[in-house]
Structure 1
Amino acid sequence: MPSYAGPPVAPRPGEIASSLRLLAYLALGLALVILDHRGGWQARARQQAGLAAQPLWWVAGLPGRLGMRVKDDAATLGQLTAENRRLRDELLVSNARLIRLSAAVADNAQLRALLGAAGNRGLDVQLAAVLNIDLDPTRQRLVLDAGSRDGVYVGQPVIDAGGLLGQIVQVMPRYSTVLLLTDPDHAVPVMVQRNGVRLLAYGNGRSDQLQLVDVPLNADIRNGDVVVTSGLGGRFPPGFPVGTVTDLHADDSRTFLVGELRPAAHLDRGRNVLLLKAAAVAPGVGQLGAGEASEAGTGDSEAGTRDPGPGTREGNSNRGAAAAETVSPAPAQTPQSPLSRVPGPGPRVPAPSAPSPESRVPAAPTETPPPASAQTPQSPPSRVPGPGPRVPAPPAPPAPAP
């Protein structure tokens, strides 16, 4: 027996309409697919629709693009900051290296100048580095890294590529001290290179100036004249540049001129100097004058030029004599007769002249009588020997009548 399916259900009006619409959409889609495959007109329609929808796509992608840009900007800022810091550090290191290279180039140029000056003059020199410098107005000195172990000695001249710097005044095993030309306790005999006028150059505590004192009013000295060492006193060799005359004016007494020199040496710069190893010119025989004492550079050894106190100078009357040597006078010689001499270590005494038939002895000159201590008494009957023919002694005076 068949099962019972229930009463029949009548179709609804809405369901039929829905089915019809579905069928219509399917037919339309199938028709569009066939037409697009055959004609391609839908591609052009899609292109136009894409152009119309492009602003919408840009607006839709704007938040994402903004987020990526912020993220990239933050990363880029961090990278730039780190790179900037690294480049700044590299720049500091490069600048330090460049400055050091510049200093090395300057030192190289100075060494070339020093070696060139020594080579041009044919000097035996020793290179020394400057360890310390003291340019106080009352103390102008350098400390060098060469001492007695390197052959440095007190009084050794020191030069650079420009000219004379000073002299060694203190020597230790590894170090030495240089007294500069500009020190108030230093003086050096100089001469004008153009005409040979001899002067004295004093330091005044300024690294850019020297002084010429007690210059005669009629001295042939002009601005621009080159002043060199004269060699007097035997401390400094002659011919080394000392400075250039920059000014001449009368002193307070209006009896002498005072000159100013611009030093030829670079006293306030440079890291190396030259020590003259050749022996200084030996002073002349006899007593040395104040010129040599003034070159010693200290108050104790400048007795001929300065007062015992440091940094002081004597009056104008004593300074002018310091530029030349003072030779001790030789003992006075007694005029001698050409035909007779007195033997012995004492001074020569002229023989008395007397008429003789054999020969005549010229009378002794009377301009310079011999000292009393130098006369040798003679007995009346003795004769005075001589290199020439013998001359009889003068006859004794007659005895008085009783």
Structure 2
Amino acid sequence: MPSFSGSNPRSGDITGTLQLLAYLALAVALLVLDHRGGWLARLRAQATVLAQPLWSVAGMPARLGDALSENAATRSGLVAENRTLRNALLLSGARVARLQTAAAENERLRQLLGAERRGGLDVQLAPILDIDLDPTRQRLVLDAGTRDGVTVGQSVIDAGGLVGQIIAVRPGSATVLLITDPDHAVPVIVARTGVRLVAYGQGRSDRLALPNIPLSGDLKVGDVVITSGLGGRFPAGFPVGKVVALHPDDSHAFLVGELEPAAQLDRGRDVLLLRQQGRP
């Protein structure tokens, strides 16, 4: 009679079936209890409450990343906006400065036009190309020459008074010897007293010398000196300067005066060239 060892395989199947039936019974019981008492719902709610901090911690890196991205985008936008506003401010400042310069230039041109109208002068407007105010050489270079009718010897004025005279011309430019040049002299007359004198350049754009003033000349600080017309080099009646100082010379036989030029020799962009003497 054959013999065998080991357990019966059917007993294992029966055990598994019984376990499955037990689980099913337990599940049914839980469903019934939950349906009647709702305790599973409460358990789930409590579990959700307990898990909420974990969810917050788990979501913190994502929220932190979003906040950093948003802050970076906001900062970049603010930097770009600041740059745009700064550029706009600089541009506005440049435009305002340019308008102010244009307004000042228009005012100077109106003054020149007023001088022309007041004197009934036949003049020519000439822009200034260059200026040389070296103490040994006081010159202007004008953007007008022989092709514009400029000639040597023409008197040059501005809205304030006498500037100088043309000493050299070229087809497109001309050179003006300023009255403040050390080699320049202009016959003048004191407007208040009629005393005739000669004003000399000193190499300074803000001063002229008035030597050999008679003690009896009755010259005072503040007196206006104008061209006398003697010698025919300059028309009579144009302001040359104002007396700002008087003192005795070395011999104490005469006075020496200092004049402040009437013309704005170190500023302005245009001058007037006299074609003929104006009406007095």
| TM-score after normalising by structure 2 | 0.81
Aligned residue for 2:114, secondary structure, equals: helix
Structure-2 change in CA distance of 1:51 and 1:29 (3 Å): closer
CA distance in 2 between partners of 1:271 and 1:156 (Å): 19
Q: Partner of 2:3 in structure 1?
A: none
Alignment of 1:31-110 (within 5 A): 31=36, 57-82=55-80, 84=82, 93-110=91-108
Q: Partner of 2:174 in structure 1?
A: 176
* Deviation string, structure 1 residues 250-307 (Cα, Å, up to 9, x no partner): 11121111111111110001110011112489xxxxxxxxxxxxxxxxxxxxxxxxxx
Whether 2:31 is the aligned partner of 1:26: answer yes
- RCO greater where, 1 or 2, for CA within 8 Å and sep 6 or more? 2
The match for 1:253 among 234, 246, 251 is 251
Aligned residue for 1:227, secondary structure, equals: strand
Q: Partner of 1:142 in structure 2?
A: 140
Structure-2 change in CA distance of 1:32 and 1:186 (3 Å): farther
CA distance in 2 between partners of 1:218 and 1:103 (Å): 47
Contact 1:234-1:280 within 8 A present in 2 as well: no
CA distance in 2 between partners of 1:275 and 1:190 (Å): 20
Q: Partner of 2:242 in structure 1?
A: 244
Letter in 2 for 1:23: V
Letter in 1 for 2:174: S
Structure-2 change in CA distance of 1:25 and 1:132 (3 Å): same
CA deviation after TM superposition for structure 1 residue 137, in Å: 0.5
CA distance in 2 between partners of 1:67 and 1:11 (Å): 51
RMSD of Structure 2 on Structure 1 (CA) = 3.4
CA deviation after TM superposition for structure 1 residue 18, in Å: 4.4
Structure-2 change in CA distance of 1:100 and 1:20 (3 Å): same
Structure-2 change in CA distance of 1:50 and 1:123 (3 Å): farther
Structure-2 change in CA distance of 1:158 and 1:54 (3 Å): farther
Alignment of 1:2-401 (within 5 A): 9=14, 18-31=23-36, 57-82=55-80, 84=82, 93-279=91-277
CA distance in 2 between partners of 1:82 and 1:10 (Å): 76
CA distance in 2 between partners of 1:103 and 1:173 (Å): 30
Aligned residue for 1:277, secondary structure, equals: strand
Letter in 1 for 2:220: R
CA deviation after TM superposition for structure 1 residue 229, in Å: 1.4
Q: Aligned residue pairs: how many? A: 267
CA distance in 2 between partners of 1:197 and 1:171 (Å): 34
CA distance in 2 between partners of 1:220 and 1:101 (Å): 47
CA distance in 2 between partners of 1:55 and 1:192 (Å): 102
Letter in 1 for 2:137: R
Contact 1:170-1:178 within 8 A present in 2 as well: yes
Contact 1:142-1:177 within 8 A present in 2 as well: yes
CA deviation after TM superposition for structure 1 residue 99, in Å: 3.8
CA distance in 1 between partners of 2:70 and 2:194 (Å): 84
Structure-2 change in CA distance of 1:25 and 1:155 (3 Å): same
CA distance in 2 between partners of 1:276 and 1:206 (Å): 24
CA distance in 1 between partners of 2:20 and 2:47 (Å): 35
Letter in 1 for 2:240: V
CA deviation after TM superposition for structure 1 residue 149, in Å: 2.0
CA deviation after TM superposition for structure 1 residue 162, in Å: 1.0
Structure-2 change in CA distance of 1:49 and 1:181 (3 Å): farther
Structure-2 change in CA distance of 1:201 and 1:16 (3 Å): same
* Deviation string, structure 1 residues 318-374 (Cα, Å, up to 9, x no partner): xxxxxxxxxxxxxxxxxxxxxxxxxxxxxxxxxxxxxxxxxxxxxxxxxxxxxxxxx
Structure-2 change in CA distance of 1:68 and 1:218 (3 Å): same
| Residue segments in structure 2 that go unaligned for 5+ positions in a row | 1-9
Larger % of helix: which?
2
Letter in 1 for 2:260: R
CA deviation after TM superposition for structure 1 residue 240, in Å: 1.4
CA deviation after TM superposition for structure 1 residue 55, in Å: 5.6
Larger Rg: 1
* Deviation string, structure 1 residues 114-133 (Cα, Å, up to 9, x no partner): 11221122212110000111
CA distance in 1 between partners of 2:114 and 2:75 (Å): 57
CA distance in 1 between partners of 2:200 and 2:179 (Å): 7
Contact 2:128-2:140 within 8 A present in 1 as well: yes
Runs of 4+ displaced beyond 6 Å: 10-17, 48-54
Letter in 2 for 1:26: L
Structure-2 change in CA distance of 1:168 and 1:10 (3 Å): closer
Which stretch shows the higher mean deviation, 105-114 or 240-249?
Answer: 105-114
Quote the sequence identity (%): 60
